[in-house]
Amino acid sequence: MTTVHLKYECRHPEQFGIDRQAQYQVALEQIRWADELGMTGVTFCEHHGSEDGYLSSPMIFAAAAASVTRNIRLRMNLVMAYHDPIRVAEDIAVLDILSGGRTELAVLGGYVPSEFEMFGRSLSDRGRLIEEGVDLLKQAWTGEPFEWKGRRVQVTPKPIQSPPRLLIGGGAPVAARRAARLAEGIIPMIPEAYDPYEEECRKLGKTPVNEGKIGPAFLHVSEDPDRDWELIAPHALYETNCYARWQAQTGVTGIFEEMTDADALRESGTFQVLTPEQVLELADQLGPDGQLLFHPLMGGLDGDLAWQSLELFADKVWPHLTVHASAEPDAEVLHQPASA
């Protein structure tokens, strides 16, 4: 069945006049709303030292989200090279308890040189650090003592899940094969990454986990896509150019390209503004296991505009998707202003 996910990076670029505290509050309100509606999951991303205030502590944000939700899955994208894996194991365990067993961890390799320099790590070590970290996590979440690098380690309390779901993200074949060997699934940074992952799973006698086709990186629902694209385009250009410049520093291949032409960016399909009817067509194209992804506050997007998209989705798309038990969204779920 179709799954519907949210993603938050919490960028607040100065040129768009975004207040970061208000943005964080809107994000939590949207996550609570999505949980009540019945959406599947929310992902919190990680970057460091970014001038636009990109979310640097997804674990803290996920803990806040856990306190206002009951069912939605909480996924953290963490660059293992930046973290002490023992603390990651402890923090995930505590978060899993707080959330009632709704935690997922996606381990990433990272690719921004300035971030590795900030943490005193080398890009060349990222593969080794992922493998060491994943090995530790698996042992740590048993709650039993074990030896790691000559030290006695025991992580308590144990998480509710045994263990929390662990994924590995990446776009290179080596990352895809690592996901097959060590994780429960892959977060493919480009669609082509799934092929070497699947091939390696077959070699290992494992069943590859296919979470279905994923929709565009940004989806906005509108009754007037041309009108809303004019408002969204500056943020989309900002977003694609930020990622493209980061990727260019280490030659990473991704879905984002550096662009100056808003029309060309719209044509690329990475950022899509669609009518409710077009969203339903997209869901059909993605198939019964497809994923729709909302990135509501993308590039510092205005919260009111983001709410318009989400509420239109709830009103005119959600009732027609085979993603939930009820035929209609509950009226109490619809967004109310914070002052109400």
Do 203 and 311 belong to one domain? Answer: no
Residue of 137, 136, 135, 132 lying closest to 121 (CA atoms)? 132
Last residue of a domain, one of 168, 183, 211: 211
The answer to whether residue 64 is domain-embedded is no
Query: pTM here?
Result: 0.92
Cβ-proximal residues to 198 (8 Å cutoff; 6+ apart), any chain: 180, 208, 210
Do 94 and 44 belong to one domain? Answer: no
250 half-sphere exposure, CB direction, 13 A CA radius: 18
pLDDT score, position 322: 63
pLDDT score, position 2: 87
Contact 81, 119 (CB under 8 A): yes
Mean pLDDT by groups of 10 residues along the chain of 340 residues: 94 95 98 98 98 97 98 98 98 98 97 97 96 98 97 98 96 94 93 93 93 91 98 98 95 90 97 98 93 97 98 97 47 36
Do 150 and 241 belong to one domain? Answer: no
For 149: left if phi > 0, alpha if psi spans -120 to 50, otherwise beta; the answer is left
pLDDT score, position 84: 97
* Residue 90 amino acid letter: E
Tally of CB atoms within 10 A around 10: 21
User: Of all helices (H) and strands (E), which one includes residue 196?
Assistant: helix 194-204
The answer to whether residue 333 is domain-embedded is yes
The answer to whether residue 9 is domain-embedded is yes
Helix axes 126-140, 173-182, angle to 10 degrees: 10
Check which CATH number belongs to the domain holding 133 and give it: 3.20.20.30
CA dist 38 and 330 (Å) reads 10
Please give the distance of CA 334 from its chain centroid, rounded to a whole number.
23
The answer to whether residue 67 is domain-embedded is no
Tell me the CA end-to-end span of the chain in Å, nearest whole number: 35
The answer to whether residue 259 is domain-embedded is yes
Do 108 and 3 belong to one domain? Answer: no
Provide the number of structural domains found in the chain.
Answer: 2
The answer to whether residue 161 is domain-embedded is yes
The answer to whether residue 127 is domain-embedded is yes
Do 114 and 196 belong to one domain? Answer: yes
Do 206 and 260 belong to one domain? Answer: no
Cβ-proximal residues to 295 (8 Å cutoff; 6+ apart), any chain: 6, 7, 8, 9, 217, 218, 219
CA dist 222 and 228 (Å) reads 7
Helices (H), 252-334: 262-268, 276-286, 303-316
Residue 198 sits in which domain range? Answer: 72-211
What are the structure tokens assigned to 332, written together? 């109490």
